[in-house]
Structure formats: structure tokens, C-alpha cells
Amino acid sequence: MTPPPPYQPGHALLADRTAVVTAAAGAGIGGATARRLLEEGARVVVGDAHARRLAECTAALTAEFGPERVAGLPCDVTDEAQVAALLDLAERRHGRLDVVVNNAGLGGTAELTEMTDAQWGKVLDVTLNGTFRCTRAALRRMKASGTGGVIVNNASVAGWRAQAGQAHYAAAKAGVMALTRCAAVEAAAYGVRVNAVSPSLAMHPHLVKVTTPGVLEELTAREAFGRPAEPWEVANVIVFLASGYSSYMTGEVVPVSSQHA
């Protein structure tokens, strides 16, 4: 197993930018992304459907980065009004909206023949429809502002790769990829870039709770480094896509993976 590299310091890549991150509470990719954006100089508004975890996350980030740079609001991405309220908060506090990271997603395991309509619909509504709602709301605001912006969606290698028991999740993530490409074409005329990351396996406590050890071992064995990604390693790529270093990239789905060919 190759150990993770040293944690990279910030380089002010997003100084004076305002960013929104959905599903940002906790120790997963969303939480790591919120922290990395702050370390790169951004002002960050975080949303999450779990109010208690969100309050804890917001309090911790505020204590470290200051109340003028951190705000949080409960947001269930299946509720269009809550999505609008989250983006409105960013504009109201900071007068602009530069970056939106659509991280919210929901998984689960069920064989297709045993999967209910409710199981299918719930995963699609959070993972794909939620990304659609947030992207639509962000594009409307960015288009009206005339100052451009960046949207980064969180897809998954599951959108490319077949895995038993994951038909709903894989279909949703493949949809996120297609949504990203189509939105990018429509948004380019307004100076808005839309890209996605496609992680293979990023280890965090919630994943451990919802995935069996056998599946995690199998997925880890596919990685060339012999280990899962740290959430902040995925967040680094999200920061890159949010920054000016990726200024000519739009409509791209960028794998964050060390998988064997």
C-alpha cells in the first residue's frame, strides 16, 4: 500500500470568491471540499440535510476561519425552496456567487429484481434530480449576474462501471455526467464553466457504515495505490476545477482514481 502524500497547503487560488457546497457536513468529500475552499481563500456557505451535523461543521469552520467567511444553512436538495434559500444566503451575505459544488448524493445496495420503486426514486431524486435543481438554480443566478462562475458536480466511476446492486446509484451518477456536459454547452455563452469529478473510492466514516467490509476490500483491491483516496485528495481536484487553473475546461468529467486499467 502506498501511503497518502502530505496534505497540501493553500495557495490563495480562490481568494475573494464565494462558494457554496452541498452535503458539506461530516468527514466526507463535501466537508473536505469546504475546508479546502476556505484554505484557498474563499468565503464558503455550506448546506446539508442533517441540521445537527451541519451546525457542528459550521461551528468548527467558523472557529478556525472566522464568521465573516463561513455560514451554513440546512438544505435538502430534493426541496427546490431550500436550494434557492442556500444560494440566496451566499448572495445576500457576500453580494456574489462564484462557485457551486454539488456534492449531495445518496447510495444504497439492492439487486435490481428486488429493488422497489421507492428505493430507485429516492436515490435518483437526491443524486441526479438534486444536482439538476442546484445546477439550474446556480446557472440562473450566474447568468443574471453577468460575471460568470463555476459549477463542479460530484459524479462517480459507478457512472461508467458496472457493479451488482448499484443500478440506481450508477444510473444517477451517469445522469450527473450527462447533465454536466449538457449544462456546460448551455452555460459557456455566459462565462460559466461546468465540470465534474468522478471519484473511485474515497474512504470516510459514512461509507464504512453503509458498505460491507467485503465490498470495501474488493474496491480497494482495484486501486493501483492499494488504498482508497483521502476525501481531501478528491477535494483538491474540485478546487482545481473551481479555480482559474482550469479556465479552458468545461463539460469534462475528471476521474479521481488510481484504478488498474
Catalytic residue annotation = 169
Whether 233 and 29 have beta carbons less than 8 Å apart is answered as no
Residues 6+ apart with CB under 8 A from 244: 13
Residues 6+ apart with CB under 8 A from 88: none
Whether 243 and 36 have beta carbons less than 8 Å apart is answered as no
Residues 6+ apart with CB under 8 A from 207: 28, 216
Query: What does 14-79 look like in DSSP terms, one character per residue?
Result: TTT-EEEESS-SSSSHHHHHHHHHHHTT-EEEEEES-HHHHHHHHHHHHHHH-TTTEEEEE--TT-
How far is the first Cα of the chain from the last one, in angstroms, to the nearest whole number?
18
Three-class DSSP category at 173: helix
Rounded Cα distance between 8 and 191, Å, is 29
Rounded Cα distance between 59 and 56, Å, is 5
Nearest Cα to 106, choosing from 172, 175, 199, 48? Answer: 172
Amino acid at 238: I
Rounded Cα distance between 236 and 11, Å, is 12
